[in-house]
């Protein structure tokens, strides 16, 4: 294994922030991973695991060891005529994995097409889009316990998924590395979900009436490409904030002042689109220094000039949080992992 010193992470994070790691290595097997974790020189430093770097914001150089997980491989187990278990190692690219499943005509992940990042990171924040989350098809994941270096299996319940949440983002944070993930997918009679977002109108544009899972994927890809900035062109990490859920009383209070506020029921709470709140505060398309809120999607903060530091992006996000709090009394929470 090649451990590199003072390694630039600019290409390892989709924000394109130019920071360095004291040490950096790519890990391609569990053996390599445990070997490096047993190394007493490595144990002196803090550790950071990276997948595709599409949900992190580095605010400073990382004075520790960054390990990029490149474990590869996909396997399948046919359960019956209707269902199949598909297992992917952590380092497989998420979108390529979704396309592999669609190529086999396995249904369940099509609405999650084109989400950046790796399969191993998908349970971290229970990735979701267009009415689907991975928790809908997730069966289990294998993780390495960083304290004991023993491989453990986490079932659905143990992962305790929530909206952009799981045990790995809360009490399990920094304690486990996800090594592989297993999904249960359909082989026929797929559940087609087109009611969310602009999928139906995009399918109409494509001239499709009774969509296949492959056509749903195509529609999702088209919508995402037209709405979201491509990190290869302009640095970003997708939605920077979560959509807040607020108590009914608070919602009714705010609604008196803003009757047009979009909202959705969420159990006892009411979910409000963070993008709408940010836009109402005048941030859409606004640029300060090297950082801006994206002109088509205010929830996305972009490295507009390509020269932004992580600190600048972070400060920009703080200004947004403060102005939303002042105008609506609602506290936005960052979705992106701040390092
Ligand atoms: C343009 C764009 C659009 C996006 N759209 C969506 C969307 O629609 N829905 C959505 O949910 N997300 C979206 N995201 C966010 C991002 O794609 C997901 O959060 C993705 O799962 C991150 O994967 P990654 O491998 O890049 O994670 P990284 O950024 O590499 O890591 C994220 C966090 O997970 C930790 N980590 C990484 N790998 C492991 C592992 N194997 N085990 C334990 N911890 C690990 C890291 O230390 C870090 O804290 C978008 C991002 C971009 C740039």
E strands of 171-231, at which residues? 176-186
pLDDT, tens only, 74-133: 999 999 999 999 999 999 999 999 999 999 999 999 999 999 999 999 999 999 999 999
Q: DSSP secondary structure string, 85-101?
A: EEEEETTSBHHHHHHHH
- Decide: helix, strand or coil at residue 55: coil
CB-CB contact of 14 with 52 (8 Å):
yes
pLDDT > 70 in the chain, percent: 100
Select from 166, 168, 115, 106 the least CA-distant residue to 137.
106
H or E element in which residue 285 lies: none
CA-closest residue to ligand 1 atom 12: 127
The mean of the pLDDT values for the chain is 96
What separation in Å is there between the alpha carbon of 212 and the centre of ligand 1?
A: 27
pLDDT, tens only, 147-172: 999 999 999 999 999 999 999 999 99
Q: Is pLDDT above 80 for 1?
A: no
CA-closest residue to ligand 1 atom 17: 116
Q: Which residues are catalytic?
A: 164, 239, 335
What pLDDT does residue 330 have? Answer: 96
What separation in Å is there between the alpha carbon of 65 and the centre of ligand 1?
A: 19
The answer, yes or no, to whether any atom of ligand 1 lies below 6 A from the CB of 310, is no
The answer, yes or no, to whether any atom of ligand 1 lies below 6 A from the CB of 91, is no
Select from 108, 27, 40 the least CA-distant residue to 68.
27
pLDDT, tens only, 263-310: 999 889 999 999 999 999 999 999 999 999 999 999 999 999 999 999
CA-closest residue to ligand 1 atom 8: 129
What separation in Å is there between the alpha carbon of 273 and the centre of ligand 1?
A: 20
pLDDT, tens only, 239-266: 999 999 999 999 999 999 999 999 999 8
What separation in Å is there between the alpha carbon of 179 and the centre of ligand 1?
A: 15
Number of neighbours of residue 187 by Cβ within 10 angstroms: 16
Domains with residue ranges and CATH for the chain: 4-69 (3.30.43.10), 74-227 (3.30.465.10), 235-338 (3.90.78.10)
What pLDDT does residue 41 have? Answer: 87
């Amino acid at each position: 294994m090649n451990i590199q010193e003072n390694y630039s992470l600019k290409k390892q994070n989709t924000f394109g922030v130019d920071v360095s790691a004291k040490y950096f290595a790519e890990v391609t097997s569990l053996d390599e991973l445990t070997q490096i974790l047993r190394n007493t020189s490595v144990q002196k430093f803090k550790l950071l695991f990276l997948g595709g770097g599409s949900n992190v914001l580095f605010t400073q150089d990382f004075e520790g060891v960054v390990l990029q997980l490149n474990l590869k491989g996909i396997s399948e187990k046919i359960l019956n005529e209707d269902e199949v278990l598909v297992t992917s190692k952590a380092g497989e690219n998420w979108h390529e994995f979704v396309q592999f499943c669609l190529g086999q005509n396995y249904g369940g992940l099509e609405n999650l097409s084109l989400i950046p990042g790796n399969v191993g990171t998908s349970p971290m924040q229970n990735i979701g889009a267009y009415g689907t989350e991975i928790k809908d098809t997730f069966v289990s994941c294998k993780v390495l316990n960083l304290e004991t270096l023993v491989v453990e299996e986490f079932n659905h319940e143990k992962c305790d998924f929530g909206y952009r949440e799981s045990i790995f983002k809360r009490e399990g944070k920094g304690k486990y590395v996800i090594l592989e993930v297993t999904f249960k997918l359909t082989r026929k009679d797929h559940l087609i979900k087109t009611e969310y977002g602009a999928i139906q109108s995009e399918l109409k544009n494509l001239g499709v009436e009774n969509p296949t899972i492959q056509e749903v994927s195509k529609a999702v890809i088209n919508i995402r490409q037209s709405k979201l900035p491509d990190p290869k062109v302009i640095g970003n990490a997708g939605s920077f904030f979560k959509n807040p859920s607020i108590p009914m009383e608070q919602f009714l209070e705010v609604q008196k002042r803003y009757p047009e506020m979009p909202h959705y029921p969420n159990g006892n709470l009411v979910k409000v689109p963070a993008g709408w709140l940010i836009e109402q505060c005048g941030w859409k398309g606004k640029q300060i220094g090297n950082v801006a809120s994206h002109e088509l999607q205010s929830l996305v903060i972009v490295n507009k000039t390509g020269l932004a530091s992580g600190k600048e992006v972070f400060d920009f996000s703080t200004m947004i949080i403060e102005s939303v709090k002042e105008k609506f009394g609602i506290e936005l929470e960052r979705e992106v992992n701040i390092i």
